[in-house]
């Protein structure tokens, strides 16, 4: 069985050879048309409370990551996402944040890769 390649990309970047394009933000990004996204999985995004607390403050990144991982562990929608991407060649997690290194998609990608490697 081949291993799925999970990529990350800003939803505002041009569509490329992205495979299945999954938006993983809680809110729909401003100005983005529906045809740029295959699936919107907002239920795996950080809660509104966590998102507001983090507010893209780099000083809160480590704690945000820990809190978000805890949310993912208790989120029943994660198993649906894993089922959706299992067996695919390429999946691209889309996000709107300007910070390419510190956003929820980075954490989600690491989390999914760890779960998929154990299957």
* pLDDT 10s digits, 3-51: 899 999 999 999 999 999 999 999 999 999 999 999 999 999 999 999 9
Domain that holds residue 56: 5-117
> What would the pLDDT profile of 74-86 be if each residue is shown by its tens digit?
999 999 999 999 9
> Minimal CA–CA distance to 12: which of 96, 93, 92, 91?
96
Confidence of residue 2 (pLDDT cuts 50, 70, 90): low
Q: Which residue has the tokens 């970047």?
A: 13
Long-range contacts formed by 35-43: CB under 8 A, 24+ apart: 36/11, 36/94, 37/11, 37/94, 39/84, 41/77, 41/80, 41/81, 41/84, 43/75, 43/77
What pLDDT is recorded for position 119? Answer: 56
**Rg of the chain over all Cα atoms, to the nearest angstrom:** 14
> Minimal CA–CA distance to 48: which of 32, 33, 27?
27
The domain total for the chain is 1
């Amino acid at each position: 069985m081949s291993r799925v390649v999970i990529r990350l990309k800003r939803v505002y970047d041009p569509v490329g050879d992205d495979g299945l394009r999954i938006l993983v933000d809680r809110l729909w990004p401003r100005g983005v048309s529906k045809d740029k996204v295959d699936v919107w999985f907002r239920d795996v995004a950080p809660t509104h409370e966590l998102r507001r607390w983090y507010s893209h403050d780099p000083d809160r990144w480590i704690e945000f990551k820990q809190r978000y991982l805890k949310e993912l562990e208790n989120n029943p929608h994660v198993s649906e996402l894993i089922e959706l991407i299992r067996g695919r060649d390429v999946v691209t997690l889309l996000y709107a944040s300007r910070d390419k290194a510190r956003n929820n998609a980075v954490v989600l990608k690491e989390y999914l890769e760890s779960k998929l490697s154990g299957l």
